[in-house]
């Protein structure tokens, strides 16, 4: 008998191939049943950070604060003042940008390493591999909570009052979490197939960093350029998430409706494409 004949007999008997990819619905259902695994992994990594550093979890906030202070000092001197938004203090403007971008950049980088960095776990245990990048997103959400608290203190310290608009920060960050998850899933699969992509990710992250208006207002910088350039720059979802949070926290106003539409569309589309793209290669993880 040929191997094909054996496979046919096994299928008739209801047997499944080891590591076979289940239907997407069953796959997502199994992920939900094992969601505690992703949460436990995220908590374990956070505890490991505490044990490795004397300041422990304080570095979650200190790292982006130091980055904001460094970049803010450098670019606050170098950049011309007409590139800054009118009526907004430069320090909280930069801090909001750095903190929110940190959420994206770490989700991207850690998600990309989630499979290749856990090769032994992938090869030795049977579980939906998507739980690994999901666990990294859960970790970044847990780290984002104290960052947002410190961010609120900084913004209030510069005279910005708390308004009801701040409640919209929650759905904005939920949309960004969905977007980050999609990016992490796309990067996780791509780095499995092409390991050298891990060397390119820092460059891509840096490109987003300078294209998202962390230290300047895109509207001011591109004011004298062609209209299509500004419109193209505003379609960058990372810029939109940052701008939405800035508008809510620093100016006490809601962002334009079109920006919410871009943020929502990017979040849903990226997450759905990322889930399907990652799931299609489920059988290959641990074998490449």
Render pLDDT for 129-154 as a digit per residue (tens, 0 to 9).
999 999 999 999 998 988 888 888 88
Residues 109, 165: contact at Cβ < 8 Å? no
Rounded-to-integer distance, Cα 80 and Cα 36, Å: 50
Confidence of residue 9 (pLDDT cuts 50, 70, 90): very low
Residues 147, 102: contact at Cβ < 8 Å? yes
pLDDT, the chain, mean: 82
Rounded-to-integer distance, Cα 38 and Cα 153, Å: 31
Q: State the DSSP code for 20.
A: P
pLDDT in tens, 93-122: 888 888 899 999 999 999 999 888 888 888
pLDDT in tens, 205-252: 988 888 888 887 777 766 666 677 778 778 899 999 999 999 999 887
Taking CA atoms, 43 is separated from 50, 81, 140, 178, 214, in Å, by: 11, 43, 11, 20, 30
Kindly report the pTM of this predicted structure: 0.86
pLDDT of residue 181: 97
């Amino acid at each position: 008998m040929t191997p094909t004949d054996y496979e046919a007999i096994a299928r008739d008997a209801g047997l499944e191939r080891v590591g076979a990819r289940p239907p997407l619905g069953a796959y997502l259902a199994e992920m939900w049943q094992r969601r505690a695994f992703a949460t436990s992994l995220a908590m374990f990594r956070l505890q490991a950070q505490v044990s490795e550093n004397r300041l422990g979890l304080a570095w979650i906030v200190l790292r982006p604060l130091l980055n904001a202070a460094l970049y803010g000092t450098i670019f606050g001197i170098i950049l011309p003042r007409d590139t800054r938004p009118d009526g907004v203090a430069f320090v909280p403007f930069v801090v909001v940008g750095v903190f929110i971008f940190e959420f994206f950049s770490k989700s991207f980088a850690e998600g990309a390493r989630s499979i290749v960095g856990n090769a032994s776990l992938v090869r030795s245990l049977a579980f939906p591999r998507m739980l690994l990048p999901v666990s990294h997103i859960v970790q970044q959400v847990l780290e984002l909570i104290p960052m947002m608290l410190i961010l609120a203190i900084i913004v209030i310290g510069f005279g910005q009052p708390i308004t009801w608009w701040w409640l919209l920060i929650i759905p904005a960050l939920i949309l960004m979490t969905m977007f980050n998850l999609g990016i992490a899933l796309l990067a996780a699969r791509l780095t499995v197939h092409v390991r050298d992509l891990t060397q390119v990710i820092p460059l891509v992250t840096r490109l987003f960093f300078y294209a998202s208006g962390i230290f300047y207002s895109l509207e001011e910088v591109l004011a004298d350029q062609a209209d299509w350039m500004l419109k193209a720059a505003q379609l960058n979802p990372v810029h939109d998430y940052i701008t939405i949070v800035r508008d809510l926290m620093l100016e006490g106003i809601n962002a334009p409706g079109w920006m919410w539409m871009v943020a929502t569309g990017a979040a849903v589309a990226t997450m759905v494409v990322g889930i399907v793209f990652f799931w299609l290669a489920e059988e290959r993880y641990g074998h490449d």
